[in-house]
């Protein structure tokens, strides 16, 4: 099995990827052009199964989904069906700038530059449709906000969805959990694309045992990256499993590489220790999706 984890961004030049070769127990940096197409072609050339974890949301808040008139249990339509289907509005990705404009049909938000704005006003306009349950549980940023708050993730999420749409039917891949449980998707032989969240991965690689506590690392600070990677290299599970970590120097110098390496190591540990990557309580295969490994984080 091969695991690839990507630190995602709206700018392909700021994306970083690491790969874990499970049989060889080696984690290494993967240089790529920043596109999902490159990763999928690379994954298709590897021996299956191949799991690609991407640090961007793949899912839609349940409350907003219900406003679209597609409640769980009503037919077979899932978020990915909607994203890849003909009913997606042509202006779906055009961001709005005022709460009055917000709609599940145009969910992305770009606050007016250099003007005061209220995140709470958008949350109220969405009728609690701004956050998925997993976002609240992991203390994640709202997936639709493209700018205006530190660490906004909406622009990266929007670019991932656009790239997924462009590649659907062009390159073979499956999207977890919307196309099925993880074990079934990995058995299909096609690369599996899934959502990851580095903050959920920090505790997994640093904890003595699993499940791990949700852990914060101030990754923008060089000493914090150095300390975290030092702890990873010295971790008992790394020694026990004979894991070789390559590319740590790049991860120390660059927070994008840091998150990609840590995420790869976390997914590798979960697989090696047969710890849960998914659970019914952390996954919604109709609308909200899930985060790989959240089932192993308290």
Averaged pLDDT, 176-193 = 97
Write down the pLDDT at residue 69: 72
* Residues sharing a CB contact under 8 Å with residue 127, sequence separation 6 or more, in sequence order: 63, 67
Look-up: residue for tokens 């295969």? Answer: 285
pLDDT of residue 151 exceeding 50, the answer is yes
Write down the pLDDT at residue 223: 97
Q: Which two tokens stand for residue 151?
A: 């660490």
Averaged pLDDT, 152-157 = 96
pLDDT of residue 112 exceeding 90, the answer is no
Write down the pLDDT at residue 101: 96
pLDDT tens profile 215-262: 999 999 999 999 999 999 999 999 999 999 999 999 999 999 999 999
Averaged pLDDT, 83-112 = 94
Mean pLDDT (the chain) is 94
pTM across the whole model: 0.95
Q: Based on the number of CB atoms within 10 Å of its own CB, is 178 exposed (0-12), middle (13-18) or buried (19 or more)?
A: buried
Q: Return left, alpha or beta for 169; rule: phi > 0 is left, psi -120 to 50 is alpha, else beta.
A: left
Write down the pLDDT at residue 71: 44
pLDDT tens profile 118-127: 999 999 999 8
């Amino acid at each position: 099995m091969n695991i690839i984890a990507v630190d995602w961004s709206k700018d392909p030049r700021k994306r970083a990827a690491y790969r874990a070769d499970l049989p060889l127990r080696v984690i290494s940096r993967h240089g790529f052009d920043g596109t999902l197409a490159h990763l999928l072609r690379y994954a298709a050339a590897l021996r299956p199964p191949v799991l690609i974890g991407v640090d961007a949301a793949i899912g839609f808040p349940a409350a907003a989904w219900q406003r679209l008139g597609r409640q769980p249990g009503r037919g077979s339509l899932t978020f990915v069906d909607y994203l890849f289907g003909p009913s997606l509005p042509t202006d779906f990705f055009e961001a709005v700038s005022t709460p009055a404009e917000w709609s599940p049909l145009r969910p992305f938000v770009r606050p007016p530059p250099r003007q005061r704005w209220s995140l709470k006003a958008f949350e109220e306009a969405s009728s609690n449709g701004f956050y998925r349950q997993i976002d609240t549980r992991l203390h994640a940023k709202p997936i639709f906000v493209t700018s205006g708050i530190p660490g906004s993730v909406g622009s990266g999420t929007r670019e991932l969805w656009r790239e997924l749409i462009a590649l659907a039917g062009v390159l073979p891949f499956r999207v977890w959990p919307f196309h099925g449980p993880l074990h079934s998707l990995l058995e299909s032989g096609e690369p599996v694309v899934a959502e990851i969240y580095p903050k959920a991965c920090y505790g997994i690689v640093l904890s003595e045992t699993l499940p791990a506590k949700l852990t914060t690392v101030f990754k923008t600070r060089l000493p914090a990256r150095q300390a975290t990677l030092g702890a990873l290299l010295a971790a008992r599970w790394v020694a026990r499993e004979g894991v070789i970590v390559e590319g740590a120097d790049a991860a120390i110098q660059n927070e994008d590489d840091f998150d990609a390496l840590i995420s790869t190591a976390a997914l590798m540990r979960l697989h090696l220790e047969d710890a849960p990557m998914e659970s019914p309580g952390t996954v919604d295969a109709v609308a909200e999706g899930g985060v790989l490994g959240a089932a192993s984080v308290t």
